[in-house]
Structure 1
């Protein structure tokens, strides 16, 4: 079978885009059934202002179990097509405790810069790579369950 793609990577990228589009449709259906979520989404979108080119850091702070992660997932799914790269890192606190911040930095980079492998072993080198590689890209980074400012600094910079 002959594919209209020059490289296998283009074929894979097309598959990823199609799957992402299907997932976006799934979250839209689910979010319509959640009472009161639209008000929170409107407020969140007004703070993010996708059309701007500056850096935005927005925190969603509330008691546990009230839907912060659900709100972030829906917003991420709806907004992600507007960005060059994107990542949603779940359970940052727990993953950091178990695997370390370097592991999270590598996950962040590999999800945003698809098909690239990163080989560094300390947080400072990870910070330098994140700053250098992402500073001129429009990226969406969602960090779930962050309770330590150091985690934030190591994953998105100063």
Structure 2
């Protein structure tokens, strides 16, 4: 690296990128065979992980996203403000056409590989009206468990099935365009439905839906008549929290 710094002394940012890449590579955790299980079980696990990441297709993001990088950075800071453990829910609130879905796509592309399973449910509002909540529950289950034939036949059975199968899984769940509290109750009722490290991201035009569900980490789009891009509620007075940037209450959500 010292030689590279001398060679590229007019563009040291390039060398800094290489240093960061090497640092990340050195800290990767590999698969360890301890001899306690059969080798084919470890190989099967490796194949499953690699296959999952290879077939993960990036979602489309706007061709000319003005200011997107800074917005994504702020949302990411909300998502991981308390580290990587626990189960956290984050809301993205803004008017129609404000770019909520674009940010959700960009966040998905940025962090999806860090999760055991992922599910991006778009058009929650439209699908809920056209097909019902059980349809959405089954979409969630089929996205997370591609090889299992998990089907719910009722709203309550869907809740029980989701809780039973997802409690031990670290997943990234993005619910786009939510407009009714019952949609969140059907798909992400409580943090204890999911395994440690899970992140649930909800986009909506109605901030009350987020607050009524106990979601305290909320990113405000610029055109949503908010005094600050990021707001957090401590459950006492939501209005007093506006403008307190980078104040993130510690909670299970």
- TM-score range normalised by the length of the shorter chain: 0.7 to 0.9
1:104-150 per-residue CA deviation (whole Å, 9 max, x = no partner) reads 10110111122111232101011011111111211110001001111
Answer with 45-54 or 104-113: which moved more: 45-54
CA contact (8 A) 2:94 2:100 kept: yes
The Cα of 1:34 is off from its aligned counterpart by: 1.3
- Tell me the residue number matched to 1:17: 53
Contact 1:53 1:138 in 2 (8 A): no
Given that 1:87 and 1:111 are in contact with CA atoms closer than 8 Å, whether structure 2 keeps it comes out as yes
Q: CA deviation at 1:33?
A: 3.8
The equivalent of 1:4 in structure 2 is none
Please show how residues 55-66 of structure 1 align to structure 2 within 5 Å: 55-66=87-98
Aligned to 2:75: 44
Q: Larger Cα Rg: Structure 1 or Structure 2?
A: 2
Higher mean alpha-carbon deviation, 136-145 vs 109-118, is at: 109-118
RMSD of aligned Cα (Å): 2.7
- Structure 1 portions without partners, runs of 5+: 1-9
Whole-angstrom CA distance in 2 between matches of 1:33 and 1:65? 15
Q: Provide the TM-score with structure 2 as the length reference.
A: 0.52
Per the TM alignment, residue 18 of structure 1 is displaced from its structure 2 partner at its CA by: 2.3
Counterpart of 2:41 in structure 1 is none
Q: In 2, Cα distance between the equivalents of 1:44 and 1:11?
A: 32
More strand by share: 2
Structure number having the greater helix percentage = 1
The equivalent position to 1:105 in structure 2, one of 137, 140, 148, is: 137
Tell me how far 1:16 sits from its aligned partner: 5.4
Would you say how many aligned residue pairs link Structure 1 and Structure 2?
148
Shift of 1:48: 0.8
1:138–1:13: structure 2 CA closer, same or farther, 3 Å change rule? closer
Q: Give the C-alpha shift of residue 14 in structure 1.
A: 5.7
Long gaps (5+) in structure 2 = 1-45, 191-253
**TM-score, structure 1 as length reference:** 0.81
Q: Hey, what does 1:89 align to over in structure 2?
A: 121
Q: Deviations over 1:82-109 (max 9, x none)?
A: 0011100010011011111111101101
Partner-residue secondary structure (3-state), 1:86? strand
